[in-house]
A and B are shown apart, each in its own frame.
Chain A
């Protein structure tokens, strides 16, 4: 009697242990199928090799030109009329304290949300896998998108108008 009870308890515990492991592990399987985010924080990592759709046609400037800018027209966290100067080759938009366009306090903005890239006179924006997306003229962008003068870039509650450098 004692032996049977012990056998039942012993097998029962092992089965329950694996039930427990399985109930958590199946979320891991779901997780692996989803989008991967890198755990390593490396500046510039992961978006160097994205194809720029019209890279070939982009004219390359031979001389430095005055920087373009993104003019804020509406935002919950930045004053309207503020400008984000596109002085670097890569300008980060996000809640990260090191972002050039720092949108701290906007719950719809990811830490590293989007990147504006400046190459000569060609300027483009790429979404860095943000949760809520980056929009150009109201459309959510899937790939790196070239900006034309007057295009509207929206990230979270912030809408900005692109003005190229002269």
Chain B
């Protein structure tokens, strides 16, 4: 039973604070190591940067303590460690980029605080489901019409001096829409009204808006030539439909459609063909389409088990650029594997494992359909995104340009992921409040 409690009498929040403290120590040590390796002597600047990091997370923690006293205590510290690892390696690549990323982190935490305050009662978000769906499609349309093409994919829009990647935000809005829509219709979707070839099929009018929205998103994404995001959206939609209905038919049908789509993409676009080539045999096309992936493999192999050490890895070329093109965004995981070794790279995977486990745990603890679907959808989004990009850089999967959540350099990615963390905390607050142990 929850009674009036003092601000300090919150064991859950104290656990969160302790873990954030640990994250701050990791950040300080990492910054100091990179700075020491670069300048060969200690200076105060990494300590100041780490203090700023500590202050920002402490402020976010205080807000959670006041607004969501019973929320999950692990999500925020996990994001802190992931962000710290990203900042350390980006600082290693370029102090200027690290300064930018630090600002993105502050903006991300500000958005986190905004989400936590605005959606303290997560049911408020359910009323906005159609708005979210419309804004998601709008953002994607905007990207197509106004988008600038970078590296073969059209996923950026320029606002003033800033480049924004709307797909990152569209992803979250789509999950919110799907959660609200499926929560409303899951019964009619799960209970088929007609049978065709012995397979139950739901009435078209219930499934149509869903099919339409998923179709539009996918067409838009293929038009943007951004197959990584397209695959991600598709998997999120399939996972959420499966969670809502418990019917494998939808998963089977979805995978069939995706297999056809993938075959078509390979046939039609040279962009995808070159990615497949680079995946199957990067050394045959090492100087062209396989260059990035081949350099990534060299970089990972060079790290060995314990890594080259902070600031000691072979990351930059003679001109100060990175050896792997886009090392700070898509290939940040290769840089981590190089400087922190297999041991560090596995720790990063474990952190994502814990983060998605918390997400699914929050989903099981939630007791309304919308919260369950939203938490599970967001956890799926993070987990699958990590799988695709890490799989891409270690050559398990064909390479698709996605960011590593919280770690990769980039304002849109960082802020969008902090919004996901905020939503997960809001959902867990509601579930934990109603089920005191």
Contacts and interface: CB of A to CB of B under 8 A. Distances in A.
A39 B246 contact: no
Given A25-B350, A39-B364, 16 more contacts: A2-B40, A5-B36, A6-B309, A6-B310, A10-B340, A13-B30, A14-B343, A14-B344, A16-B25, A19-B22, A20-B77, A20-B351, A23-B22, A31-B361, A39-B376, A40-B242
Give the top 5 A-B pairs by smallest Cβ distance, nearest first.
Answer: A42-B246, A111-B367, A9-B33, A17-B347, A10-B309
Given A7-B309, A9-B310, A110-B367, A16 B22 contact: yes
Contacts of A31: 361
B311 interface: yes
Contacts of B242: 40
B307 A20 contact: no
Nearest to A27: B74
B26 interface: yes
A41 to B, nearest CB: 6
B435 interface: yes
A50 interface: no
A17 B29 CA distance: 11
User: Interface of chain A, helix or strand or loop or mixed?
Assistant: helix
Interface size class of A (residues with CB under 8 A): 35 or more
A41 B186 contact: yes
Given A9-B33, A10-B307, A39 B190 contact: no
Contact of A25 (B29, B77, B243, B354): B354
Contacts of A24: 19, 74, 77-78, 354
A143 B97 CA distance: 61
Given A37-B365, A40-B243, A40-B246, A6 B311 contact: yes
A41 B343 CA distance: 38
Contacts of A16: 22, 25-26, 29
A39 B372 contact: yes
A159 interface: no
A158 B348 CA distance: 49
User: Interface of chain B, helix or strand or loop or mixed?
Assistant: helix
A17 B372 contact: no
Contacts of B257: none
A98 to B, nearest CB: 8
B310 A28 contact: no
B434 A107 contact: yes
A95 interface: yes
Contact of A6 (B26, B312, B343): B312
Interface string B184-220: 0011001100000000000000000000000000000
Interface in B224-251: 242-246
A47 interface: no
B29 A14 contact: no
B431 to A, nearest CB: 10
A130 B25 CA distance: 41
A39 B243 contact: yes
Contacts of A2: 36-37, 40-41
Interface of B: 19, 22-23, 25-26, 29-30, 32-33, 36-37, 40-41, 74, 77-78, 81, 186-187, 190-191, 242-246, 306-307, 309-312, 340-341, 343-344, 347, 350-351, 354, 357, 360-361, 363-365, 367-369, 372, 376, 434-435
Contacts of B74: 24, 27
Residue of A10, A12, A38, A39 with highest tally of chain B CB at under 10 A: A10
Contacts of B310: 6, 9-10, 13
A28 B357 contact: yes
Contacts of B244: 41
A9 B306 CA distance: 13
Given A21-B351, A25-B350, A38 B364 contact: yes
Residue of A14, A20, A27, A131 with highest tally of chain B CB at under 10 A: A20
Residue of A23, A31, A41 with highest tally of chain B CB at under 10 A: A41
A40 B368 CA distance: 12
A119 B376 CA distance: 36
A13 B25 CA distance: 8
23 contacts: A2-B40, A6-B309, A6-B311, A6-B312, A9-B310, A14-B340, A14-B343, A14-B347, A16-B26, A17-B344, A17-B347, A20-B23, A24-B78, A28-B357, A38-B364, A39-B243, A40-B242, A41-B243, A41-B372, A42-B190, A42-B245, A43-B191, A111-B368
A112 to B, nearest CB: 8
A151 B41 CA distance: 80
Contacts of A6: 33, 36-37, 309-312
A62 interface: no
Contacts of A98: 187
A9 B347 contact: no
B337 to A, nearest CB: 13
